Amino acid sequence: MPTVTLNNGVSMPQLGFGVYQVPNDETERVVTAALEAGYRSIDTATLYANEAGTGRAIAASGLPREDVFVTTKLWNTDQGYDSALRAFDTSLAELGLDHVDLYLIHWPMPARDLYVETWRAFERIYTEGRAKAIGVSNFNPAHLDRLARESDVVPAVNQIELHPRLPQAELRRYGTAHGIVTEAWGPLGQGKGGLLEEPVLAELAAKHGASPAQVVLRWHLQLGNVVIPKSATPARIRENLDVFGFTLDDDDLASIATLDTGTRGGPDPETTN
Ligand code: NAD
For the stretch 183-211, pLDDT in tens is 999 999 998 889 999 999 999 999 999 99
Contacts of 115 (CB under 8 A, 6+ apart): 79, 105, 108, 109, 136, 139, 143, 146, 147
The finding on whether 191 has its CB within 6 A of some atom of ligand 1 is: yes
42 CA to centre of own chain? 9
Residue ranges per domain, the chain?
Answer: 12-193+221-244
Look up the ipTM and state it. 0.99
Q: Which residues pair with 42 in a beta bridge?
A: 17, 70
Determine the Cα–Cα distance for residues 102 and 95; give it in Å rounded to an integer. Answer: 13
Q: Would strands 69-74 and 157-161 be described as parallel, antiparallel, or unpaired?
A: unpaired
Would you call 126 a catalytic residue per the annotation?
no
Determine the Cα–Cα distance for residues 3 and 186; give it in Å rounded to an integer. Answer: 20
The finding on whether 19 has its CB within 6 A of some atom of ligand 1 is: yes
Homologous superfamily of domain range 12-193+221-244:
NADP-dependent oxidoreductase domain (3.20.20.100)
The finding on whether 50 has its CB within 6 A of some atom of ligand 1 is: no
Q: Of all protein residues, whose CA lies closest to atom 38 belonging to ligand 1?
A: 185
Identify whether the C-beta of residue 140 lies closer than 8 Å to the C-beta of residue 115: no
Percent of the chain's residues with pLDDT above 90 = 98
Determine the Cα–Cα distance for residues 194 and 184; give it in Å rounded to an integer. Answer: 18
The finding on whether 190 has its CB within 6 A of some atom of ligand 1 is: yes
Q: For position 272, what pLDDT does the model report?
A: 86
Task: Give the SS3 label for residue 7.
Answer: coil
How far is ligand 1, taken at its centre, from the CA of residue 184, in Å? Answer: 10
Residue range 29-88, pLDDT digits in tens: 999 999 999 999 999 999 999 999 999 999 999 999 999 999 999 999 999 999 999 999
Using only C-alpha atoms, what is the Rg of the chain? 18
Identify whether the C-beta of residue 141 lies closer than 8 Å to the C-beta of residue 102: no
Does the pLDDT at position 273 exceed 80?
A: no
How far is ligand 1, taken at its centre, from the CA of residue 78, in Å? Answer: 24
How far is ligand 1, taken at its centre, from the CA of residue 150, in Å? Answer: 33
How far is ligand 1, taken at its centre, from the CA of residue 22, in Å? Answer: 10
State the alpha helices, DSSP H only, in the chain.
Answer: 24-37, 51-61, 81-95, 115-127, 141-150, 169-178, 199-208, 212-223, 234-239, 250-257
Q: Of all protein residues, whose CA lies closest to atom 3 belonging to ligand 1?
A: 229
Phi, psi of 269 (to 5 degrees): -60, -25
